[in-house]
Amino acid sequence: MAGHRSPNCPQISFEEAILKGRKVYEKEQAHEAPKSAVAEDLGYSGLNGRALSMIGALRQYGILEGNSEGLCVTEDAVAYYELDEGVDRTEAMERMIFRPPFFDALRQTFPGILPSEATLKHHLIKEGFLPRAAEDVVRVYRANVALVAEAPKRANTDVESESNPPTHLMHASPLPQIMASRPDAGILSLSYLLSPDTKADVQIKGPVGPDELEMLRAQLELTIRAISSKKKEA
């Protein structure tokens, strides 16, 4: 077995670990407690091997922190337990999920959507893991990434994003931009950005209400059909 690596990361999913950590939080809140008391909070009779293994996993995730003298629930874990579902809770969860260095390294290696289980397992075996250990890591990591993917995310409000809007917004402006309006003359001018290279200017003369706008929409639909028919014939 010499030369093979053991997973230096939690052997349980974050979902299971955070539920275990809640037991400690319910008993101790954010106060420091002896390691033996934490083991009892987790449902163990003492500091046996299973208790130490679970405590180790919770520390790797950043759910618990401390030293041999005492442990306490972390700020991120408290945020997860106390906050309503939303982006702040998601960000606390994400920090904990990727706190184990090996999980963070996997995120850097496989950003975005994960490849197949077989590909992940092959990568871990190349890194020196035994097949069974690789399977366990893949199972835990994929479950954790699924939690992150399903959680609410913070909208990107950077200045750069505002100056470079998403493509789908560039190609169709959902609301008209009123370029010129002369109610006194009964003229309403509208402008629509249809694509980076195409803009539609609409000028309506006379009283405008729901009936007139419905008629305009009907005329546009007839135009679309006509253009589509010509393209098919061509």
DSSP per-residue codes, 45-89 = SSS-HHHHHHHHHHHHTTSEEE-SS-EEE-HHHHHHHHSPSSHHH
Over the stretch 4-14, which tens digit does the pLDDT of each residue have? Answer: 666 788 999 99
Query: Domain check: are 141 and 171 in the same one?
Result: no
Q: Is residue 199 part of a domain?
A: yes
Query: Domain check: are 104 and 200 in the same one?
Result: no
CA gap 136, 11 in Å, rounded: 7
Among 85, 118, 150, the domain-final residue is: 150
User: Residue 208's pLDDT band (boundaries 50, 70, 90)?
Assistant: confident
The arithmetic mean of pLDDT across residues 33-61, rounded, is 96
Query: Domain check: are 97 and 183 in the same one?
Result: no
Query: Domain check: are 179 and 127 in the same one?
Result: no
Q: Is residue 2 part of a domain?
A: no
Strand 187-195 vs strand 198-205: parallel, antiparallel, or unpaired?
antiparallel
CA gap 210, 199 in Å, rounded: 24
Q: Is residue 33 part of a domain?
A: yes
What SS3 class is residue 131?
Answer: helix
The percent of residues in the chain predicted with pLDDT above 90, rounded, is 56
- pLDDT at position 177, please? 45
The rounded mean pLDDT for the chain is 82
Query: Domain check: are 95 and 190 in the same one?
Result: no
Among 150, 179, 209, the domain-final residue is: 150
- Between 13-17, 146-150, 164-168, the lowest mean confidence (pLDDT) is in 164-168
Query: Domain check: are 181 and 132 in the same one?
Result: no
Query: Domain check: are 226 and 110 in the same one?
Result: no
Q: Is residue 9 part of a domain?
A: no
Q: Is residue 189 part of a domain?
A: yes
CA 173 to chain centre: 26
- Neighbouring CB atoms inside 10 A of 193's CB total 17
- pLDDT at position 21, please? 98
CA gap 223, 191 in Å, rounded: 18
Query: Domain check: are 61 and 111 in the same one?
Result: yes
Q: Is residue 159 part of a domain?
A: no
CA gap 88, 54 in Å, rounded: 26
Number of domains making up the chain:
2
CA gap 122, 102 in Å, rounded: 16
Over the stretch 79-109, which tens digit does the pLDDT of each residue have? Answer: 999 999 999 999 999 999 999 999 999 999 9
- Write a three-state SS string for 25-44: HHHHCCCCECHHHHHHHCCC
Q: Is residue 3 part of a domain?
A: no
CA end-to-end span of the chain: 70
Give 142-211 as a DSSP string.
HHHHHHHHHS-------HHHHHS--HHHHS--SS-EEEEEEGGGTEEEEEEEEETTEEEEEEEES---HH
Query: Domain check: are 126 and 172 in the same one?
Result: no
Query: Domain check: are 130 and 191 in the same one?
Result: no
The DSSP output letter for 17 is H
Q: Which residues contact 157 (CB under 8 A, 6 or more apart)?
A: none
Q: Is residue 80 part of a domain?
A: yes
- Neighbouring CB atoms inside 10 A of 60's CB total 21
Among 96, 126, 150, the domain-final residue is: 150
Query: Domain check: are 142 and 186 in the same one?
Result: no
Query: Domain check: are 176 and 73 in the same one?
Result: no
Residue 173, domain extent: 164-233
